[in-house]
Amino acid sequence: MLLRRLIDTRRIDAGLPLEIRAALVESLFAPVSSLLVGALACSIIGATVALSIGDRWIMGISAAILFVGLVRVVSALLYKKSRADCSATKLWERVYEYGAWGFSALIGMLCWLTISETADASLQMIVTTTSAGYAAAIAGRNAGRPFIALGQLALCALPMAVALLIYPNLVHKALGIVVLMFIYGMVDITLCSRDVIIQALTMTRKEAALAARFEEQATRFDVALNNMSHGLCMLDQKDRLQVWNGRFLELLNLEGIPIKVGTHISRLLRYGIKAGKRDARTLKMLFRELARSFRQDKRDQIHISPDGKRTLALSRRLMSDGGAVVILEDVTDRRNAQERIAHLAKYDDLTGLANRAQFHERIGCLLAEVDNKESQFAIHLIDLDRFKSVNDTLGHPTGDKLLRQVAHRLGNLVGPSDTITRFGGDEFVILQAGAPRTEDASWLAQRIGAEIGEPFDIDGQRIDIGASIGIAMAPADGRNADELLKKADMALYSAKNSGRGKHCFFAVEMEAAAHARRALELDLREALASGQFQLYFQPLVDLNNNRVAACEALLRWFHPRLGEVPPSIFIPVAEETGLIVPIGEWVITHACAEAAAWPNNITVAVNLSPMQFKDNSLTLHVASALAKSGLPASRLEVEITERVLLEECETTLRMMGELQELGVSISLDDFGTGYSSLNYLRKFPFYKIKIDQSFTRDLGQHHDARPIVEAIASLGVGLDKIVVAEGIETEQQMRLARAQGCHQGQGHFFGPPMSGAAIREWLAGTAVKNQLVA
Ligand code: C2E
Ligand code: MG
Ligand code: MG
């Protein structure tokens, strides 16, 4: 039975985890003082016996006991120093084992010698009791390493038992048997104690491992909790805080406030006020909202700043035990983004004005009111004059600033019931709700015109623009938004045509004109392909010698149904639709080809519209027309009006330079009708100035025409330009023009616009005439 337990102990011992073994070894060395006391006590007893009986052997053993005892003390001290090192456990166990066994063997020998060498019962008694006491101490002290303990027991108690058994005295023999029984008992106690120790150590180890795992998980949970973007707290049934994270306090602006587990949520309020984190009113408001939300098992939004700038989303989940988990999330950015999207859906981002969507909403309400109350309102469709050239020349950022300033000025003009919207680009629309009469609408339009016509100052730069306005009245002009906008657009078209900076009300004729324009536009697309255009030429005559100096190419459209359509009608339509570019190319090609057949001293003048300057291939096309026809560039003039210059931009200037580089000369047509800016005359190297026919026509009839013609002529002469009087119909006009200093004349008096064949014939005729004159 005991043997079996010993075998089991051996097996279990071999499989003990290292740290348990280390703990057991540590327990061997632990009571250092007892080692010292044991060594001293045993050596004193030995010495006493040796001296009493005068035995050298016993004295030697006593000295050895003291020596081994001291060595064990030293080894125990050394172990204490190095015990952190688990790998040396086995070595230290061996050290202890040899020390313990050596010490036990010496005590066994002391016992043997004392019992066998002396018959002094008192000496025998102190040695046997010391030995028995030591043996008993072994079971208590070294039970953790049972084989060391058993070895010690055997080495110290067996010699005593044998010595007593062989002693020739019955009492001694009986004592010897008792010692054997004692040994057996000690072995049993050692093994039992060892089992208890191992069990206790294993339990402790498991608990330590569990505690470590729990701690690790708690740390991880803590890290996760405190790194959450959401604020979290767990409340018990009575709304007392159980768990919370830093973000929870941060979101409520209560960081650094001493909160304990069990703090009631309402106490946070008091803490917050005490710490001066927020003013009491705000905090009370906030916690009222919080408390209300805490009682509901749902998601809610609360505003935690008085101005509502920060928004928290709060969601509360009730738990089965009556407690709750509350999650707070800062949704300020999300809410701002949503508000911004909602704002963008209704307002123009650049100017902050209402956008098209809101216009439709508002006009819908106004139209509904019109139906119910028989009121009326006006739509002002505003287009900024020259805005495009500001954008092109000064750049989009300046254009944007200008639009903002325009929006601001418009805002100052309208009433509270009016709505200003921006449709995009430079197009603004005002819904004038408090305008029951046309006079009110006209009055507002005039003010808009005047206000926008005032110079703008953008980054220290003066900018002059204007506003053309088309007005439609509701319900007279329409009962739905699209119809009213269409009518306002027609009125705007008419306003632009009657000169910039004007306003026009919609009139029924405009609709008819718009339809006609639309029909014309469709026909115009056909005209070029189906050869309905012809070029006519009108001579420009030198007023001093009556010789033809040039012929101006004038486009004619022979419409199959409408007959001849005047350029004043179709050229604007062609410009609006962009058809002027291919038509213009056709004109240049044919004009050059025709002029190539004329006498060498006669040039050809071709009219170019502003639209053609937006086409980058203009110069290329002119060069190719010259090359194809063989006409020298010096025999080609292009006529541009001030409209081209108004849209002055980098490209226009560059193209004019390119044309001049080709050798083509540039004339300023219809001078006196537009802005007649003297600045243009200085800025651009014009070759000719053509005085508009409206002045020539009045020569001899209106007394103010003559000084104007004279002034322009002298200006031209002064600037070294050729001055041409257009529209000369009578000899008197011709004489007056010549007298005022004009160099050339053009008009029916000299010759009307003629077809290519006719001009050739006419030129031949004038050549003969000239020869005769000569
Ligand atoms: P413009 O360039 O000033 O052309 C002169 C206009 O005056 C021509 O009108 C001509 O027929 C007219 N005219 C000439 N002499 C007299 C006269 O003694 N009395 C009167 N009452 N009128 C006279 P037209 O041909 O109707 O052209 C009108 C305008 O159309 C031109 O004015 C020009 O700006 C434009 N245009 C004509 N052809 C073209 C073209 O090929 N391209 C472009 N872009 N514009 C053109
Ligand atoms: Mg012309
Ligand atoms: Mg002209």
- Mind listing the pLDDT tens digit for each residue in 218-275? 888 888 888 888 889 888 888 888 888 888 888 877 777 778 888 887 777 677 666 6
72 within 8 A of 39, measured Cβ to Cβ: yes
- Look up the pTM and report it: 0.57
**Ligand 1 centroid from CA 623, angstroms:** 24
pLDDT at residue number 424? 85
pLDDT at residue number 282? 66
For residue 567, the ligand closest to its alpha carbon is 1
157 within 8 A of 136, measured Cβ to Cβ: no
| Integer CA distances (angstroms), 334 to 115, 129, 307, 310, 340, in order | 98, 89, 17, 11, 10
**Ligand 1 site: residues with CB under 6 angstroms?**
538, 554-555, 566-568, 571, 587, 607-609, 639, 669-670, 693, 726-727, 729, 746-748, 753
Residue 718's contacts (CB-CB under 8 Å, 6 or more residues apart) are none
Q: Which amino acid is at 517?
A: R
Residues with CB under 5 A from ligand 3 (ion): 669-670, 726
For residue 666, the ligand closest to its alpha carbon is 2
Query: Which atom of ligand 1 is nearest to 538's Cα?
Result: 14
For residue 637, the ligand closest to its alpha carbon is 2
Query: Which atom of ligand 1 is nearest to 587's Cα?
Result: 41
pLDDT at residue number 452? 96
Query: Which atom of ligand 1 is nearest to 690's Cα?
Result: 3
Nearest 5°: phi and psi at 174?
-60, -40
Report which protein residue has its CA nearest ligand 1's atom 43.
607
Query: Which atom of ligand 1 is nearest to 608's Cα?
Result: 44
Residues with CB under 5 A from ligand 2 (ion): 607, 639, 669
**Ligand 2 centroid from CA 12, angstroms:** 120
DSSP letter, residue 702: S
**Ligand 1 centroid from CA 640, angstroms:** 12
Dist CA 163 CA 156 (whole Å) = 12
DSSP letter, residue 455: P
For residue 699, the ligand closest to its alpha carbon is 1
**Ligand 2 centroid from CA 346, angstroms:** 48
Token look-up 């102190």 returns: 126
Report which protein residue has its CA nearest ligand 1's atom 41.
555
Report which protein residue has its CA nearest ligand 1's atom 22.
727
Q: Are strands 377-385 and 324-330 parallel, antiparallel or unpaired?
A: unpaired
Q: Convert 189-222 to b/e letters by CB count within 10 Å (16 or more is b).
A: bbbebbbebbeebeeeeeeeeeeeeeeeeeeeee
Query: Which atom of ligand 1 is nearest to 753's Cα?
Result: 11
- Residue of 580, 604, 607, 744 with the most ligand 1 atoms within 8 Å of its CB, for mutation: 607
For residue 670, the ligand closest to its alpha carbon is 3
Query: Which atom of ligand 1 is nearest to 728's Cα?
Result: 18
- Residue of 554, 691, 746 with the most ligand 1 atoms within 8 Å of its CB, for mutation: 554
pLDDT lower than 50: segments of the chain: 306
Residues forming a β-bridge with 538: 552
